[in-house]
Structures are given as structure tokens and as C-alpha cells.
Amino acid sequence: MRAAAKLFLAAASVLLVSAAPVAADSPTPQMPRYAVDTSWPKLPLPNKWTFGEMGGMFVDSKDHVWVVQRPGTLFPWEKAAALDPPTGRCCVPAPPVMEFDPQGNLVQAWGGPGQGYEWPTTEHGILVDHKGNVWVGGSSTRPGPNGEPADGMLLKFTRDGKFLMQIGHAGPSKGSLDNTQLSGVADIAIDPSSNEVFVADGYGNHRIIVFDADSGAFKRKWGAYGKPPTDDKVGPYYPSAPPASQFRNVHCVKVSRDGLVYVCDRDNDRMQVFKRDGTFVAEYFYGKETRPPGTVGHISFSPDPQQSVLALADLGNFQVRLVRRATGAVIGTFGDFGNYAGQLNRMHQAAFDSKGNIFTAEAAGKRIQKWVIAAGSLPQ
């Protein structure tokens, strides 16, 4: 009976979800089956804190999971204890930046408006760089409900939240050819070899823009296919139309160990690959029939030395798509729509840790989930 009880408890803590392979270019057994670990993160959070929409997620070199979440997206009944007067015992908005250890314990939380910098109204994108500094962006491109300016900035802090640097300022876009002002930052990546920070400046502008990570000095920028970015009106996305000559929504940027830059052009259902200088290398489409919010919302590299597998966050179809980096071919997917454990609701990011686990962060679901390999292994 004791053995049976232990088996039941183990099954209860990890909910298995099958990963159905699609368009595989390798044998099905090489596609691992992922399961959601319902014990991660450790809940409840302290101080009656609760999550808003997840605007960004990053797994650092210590396998600590960082999120930037949006306290301003909580409904009144979700923050009843913080109202004046309180209308219930739960809950209070958590600080925007939150760090969790590998076991799911909250390590620290900080962020929000402060002296010397402009905090974004719609938090979007977070990075912990090779020096341990934390970068945060913002994606709002219009004035807020109380007249708050649009998010035209990128912020840099120490690991414990001390302000270091701001690139750009709150306010409207000056156009995709301007080198000083951002507009709707969605994601941030670092190249340790050159100490350059790559920015997916893609909700208002339509480009990748690169700065020196210490001084904030502008280095270079590019648009789709490595061409100069434009702000031409390209109209709505149609699956049958020719590929757009311009980025619609530059939703992520990642730099691989071998010096390739991967870009999510989310609303165009495509991933484009470049050299670090902006030279176009390749383009891959996924689920082209999917209308916005599109299929390529976020990219993460598997932990093997060659980073041989990519995890793509498919917002439009509520799933994680696993892809061979060398060919762009899909080897499998997992996930479907819902609010229960093991389901996904407007998944914003998907990120590997050093063990091949995958973390997903949801906007509409207002949560993070950890997925472990229950059977098989990642192909190398």
C-alpha cells in the first residue's frame, strides 16, 4: 500500500501531456514527451502577491527563472486586498521583476517606477546578461489610459534592481531609421563576445537595433531580409499573400553560440536568421494559415553544445513547437488551449533550462509552468 501511495503522489505532482510529432524529419522516438510539473513554482507567493500578464521570461546560467509581469493588467477582483478600501482578503499585485530558483522558490522581486529612469507602462521582455545585469523593455506604443506616454525605452539594472542605464525615452516613435528612440521593445538578447545588446524593437518600429551594452551607444540596425527598416503600411496579414518585405511585429531576438541572430516576426508566421552584422541567412515559416497573433512568438535554444533544437512559442495555436536548428524542420509539438495545468492560454514565451526542461509564460493565463522530459530525450 505504501508503494502504491507513493506512485499515486508522484503521478499527482506531474501531469503527463503527450507531444504529437508533426512534419518530423527524424524518427518519432527522438521526440521527447514533456510533462507539466504542478509543484513549480511554489505557491502561494508571499505578501499576498499575485501575477499579472507575463510580459517576458528568461532562464539564466544558474537555471534561475526571471519573469517581468504586468501588475497593471490585474482586474479589481484579482487585487482586492490592495484596493482602498480592500474588498477582499486576496490579493496584492507583485512587483514586476521576479526571480525564482530551480525549485520554484521566489528569490526576490523588485521593479516599477523609481528615481532616474522611466518605467514602461506595458512591461515586455527581460534579459539577464553575461555580467549578471537585468534588462527590461516595454511594448506600449500609444498613450496610456491616464495619459502615460508610450514606451520608447530600454532599462538596465543590477541583479538586485539598482538602476544602471536607460536607452531611449518614454514617448512616441521617431521612426525605424532613428537611432536614439525605441518604440515597443519586445525582447532583448546579448552577444557576450562583443558585449552588444540586440533589441527586438518591434511593436512600434520594425527592426532589430544593436547597442553597446555598457555605454548604450548605437551600433547598427536592420529590417526584414537584412534590408534597411521601413515604416511602410503593409496592411493586414493574408496567408496566401507573398511574404512581407517588412517585419510586422518583431517579437523576439536571440543570439546563438555560433553567432547567428534569430528573429521572431510573429504576425508574419516566420523566423528569420541573420549574421551578427545583419546579413540575411535564412527564413522559415510555421503555420502560415494562422492569422495574428501568429506562430513565432519566442525562441529558445536547447542546452546541448550545438544548441541543436529550438523551442518556439506559438501564440496563435497554444502550443510549443520543437524545431531542428540546422534545418528549421519541425520535430514535434505539445500543448493545447485551456486554463488547467498542462494547458496554455496565450503563451508568450517558452524557454529551455540547462537540463532540457521547458518553462512557459502566459499572458492571458497570467502564470508560468515548468515542463519536464517524462520520456525520451532531445535529439542532438
Give the pLDDT score at 111: 98
Query: Is residue 7 predicted with pLDDT exceeding 80?
Result: no
The residue-averaged pLDDT of 280-296 equals 97
Return the C-alpha cell found at 89. Answer: 482578503
The residue-averaged pLDDT of 294-301 equals 98
The residue-averaged pLDDT of 332-340 equals 95
pTM: 0.92
pLDDT in tens, 174-193: 999 999 999 999 999 999 99
Question: Residue 232: pLDDT band by 50, 70, 90 thresholds?
Answer: very high
Q: Which position has the higher pLDDT, 190 or 11?
A: 190
Q: Which position has the higher pLDDT, 260 or 7?
A: 260
Question: Residue 379: pLDDT band by 50, 70, 90 thresholds?
Answer: confident
The residue-averaged pLDDT of 277-288 equals 98
Q: Where are the domains of the chain?
A: 14-106+298-380, 113-288
In whole angstroms, give the CA distance from residue 88 to residue 80: 5
pLDDT in tens, 46-102: 999 999 999 999 999 999 999 999 999 999 999 999 999 999 999 999 999 999 999
Who's near 232: CB < 8 A, 6+ residues apart?
246
Give the pLDDT score at 30: 66
Which residue do the cell numbers 512581407 mark?
A: 244
pLDDT in tens, 147-171: 899 999 999 999 999 999 999 999 9
Q: Which position has the higher pLDDT, 18 or 262?
A: 262
Q: Which residues in 242-260 are b (16+ Cβ under 10 Å) and which e?
A: eebebbbbbbbbbbbeeeb
Query: Is residue 28 predicted with pLDDT exceeding 90?
Result: no
Return the C-alpha cell found at 367. Answer: 502564470
In whole angstroms, give the CA distance from residue 258 to residue 231: 31
Query: Is residue 11 predicted with pLDDT exceeding 50?
Result: no
Give the pLDDT score at 19: 37
In whole angstroms, give the CA distance from residue 45 to residue 50: 7
Query: Is residue 25 predicted with pLDDT exceeding 90?
Result: no
Give the pLDDT score at 9: 40
Give the pLDDT score at 17: 38
CATH fit for domain 113-288, picks 3.10.20.340, 3.90.25.10, 1.10.3720.10, 2.120.10.30 = 2.120.10.30
Q: Across the chain, what does the average pLDDT equal? A: 92
The residue-averaged pLDDT of 229-252 equals 95
Give the pLDDT score at 169: 97
Return the C-alpha cell found at 364. Answer: 492571458
